């Protein structure tokens, strides 16, 4: 791992109307990480203009924490701008995002792979020219019945889910810190249950 900072990005949609949506769980985790690191996220200029970001230390690593201020499907531009500004390769990018293919509260870590229909990831892969970045996948589960996934992700967490949401966000933040501290494989060994 290089000694430069890691760029840790939490995905979501901007504005209070989206704040509690399932799709915004990445941004919620990022807010928790910023609070832990004592980092204030603020709008930047130039290549950093389309995100709220701040620099600090997390798990004894230098980090740039950021939330794109664009809509989810345009996350790639702000992420590319931050990578360029901080002279970082996409391999030092960690994206925290909601994941339909994992049950609610399940957290998984991986590098690369497909985007699973996630518009934020698709945009980042397109803008960086690679899928080879680290991901913290925060499970939100599949929509019930025939509900359209696109509608489901833009709904707030249910009352039942909200009871444990804070705990879930904490666990996803812990997993992110572990990833930064120990690297992917060692962190996966802790976070992923033994089968």
> Which CATH number goes with the domain that contains 185?
3.40.50.1470
96-114 per-position pLDDT tens digit:
999 999 999 999 999 999 9
**Domains of the chain: total:** 1
Positions annotated as catalytic residues are 23
Distance CA 37, CA 97 (A): 19
pLDDT classification of 195: cutoffs 50, 70, 90: low
Distance CA 138, CA 172 (A): 7
Whether 66 maps to a domain, the answer reads yes
Q: What is the pTM of this model?
A: 0.96
pLDDT classification of 47: cutoffs 50, 70, 90: confident
Whether 1 maps to a domain, the answer reads no
> Where in the sequence is the domain holding 69, given as residue range(s)?
6-191
Whether 80 maps to a domain, the answer reads yes
Q: Tokens at residue 112, please?
A: 């690369």
């Amino acid at each position: 791992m290089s000694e430069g900072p890691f760029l840790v990005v939490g995905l979501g949609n901007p504005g209070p109307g989206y704040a509690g949506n399932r799709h915004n769980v990445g941004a919620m985790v990022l807010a928790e990480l910023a609070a832990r690191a004592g980092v204030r996220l603020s709008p930047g200029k130039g290549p950093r203009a389309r995100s709220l970001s701040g620099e600090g230390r997390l798990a004894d690593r230098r980090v740039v924490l950021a939330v794109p201020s664009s809509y989810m499907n345009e996350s790639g531009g702000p992420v590319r701008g931050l990578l360029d500004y901080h002279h970082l390769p996409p391999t030092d990018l960690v994206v925290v995002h909601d994941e339909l293919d994992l049950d609610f509260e399940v957290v998984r870590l991986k590098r690369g792979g497909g985007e699973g229909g996630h518009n934020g990831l698709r945009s980042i892969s397109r803008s960086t020219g690679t899928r080879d970045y680290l991901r913290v996948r925060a499970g939100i589960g599949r929509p019930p019945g025939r509900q359209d996934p696109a509608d489901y992700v833009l709904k707030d967490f249910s009352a039942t889910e909200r009871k444990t949401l804070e705990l879930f966000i904490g666990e996803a933040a812990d997993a992110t810190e572990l990833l930064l501290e120990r690297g992917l494989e060692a962190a996966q060994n802790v976070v992923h249950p033994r089968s």
